[in-house]
Amino acid sequence: MKMAAFRPADKIDILDLFEILSISAPEQVADIVDDVYGVDALPNPAREETILAARSLLDYADQTRRAALRHRSAVQRRNTDDL
């Protein structure tokens, strides 16, 4: 439901679900949305839209992870420099 609505406020919840379900490809998300709503159901956006939205979220998750790793690495370097 959150993926079909795709509200920005739902981004973190959706990413948590992706992680729990081990989703790594946007096509997996489109398959789930199609299975839940049916291909021709009104709440179901076009498959291509679902794939684009899922790709955007997966890219956001990757960028966030990389930024966290860079930050962690910088903090560790700073801590060892202080010794």
Tokens 């990757």 sit on residue = 62
Residue pair 2/13 in contact (Cβ under 8 Å)? The answer is: yes
What is the pLDDT at residue 37?
A: 85
Q: Using the predicted structure, report yes or no on whether residue 4 has a pLDDT greater than 90.
A: no
Domain spans in the chain, listed from the N-terminal domain onward: 11-81
Residue 41, CA distances (Å) to 1, 4, 35, 44 in order: 12, 11, 10, 5
Please determine, for residue 6, whether its predicted confidence score (pLDDT) is greater than 70: no
Cα separations (Å) of 27 from 5, 48, 59, 81? Answer: 17, 9, 14, 45
Residue 38 is predicted with a pLDDT of 83
How sure is the predictor about 29, in pLDDT bands with cuts at 50, 70 and 90?
very high
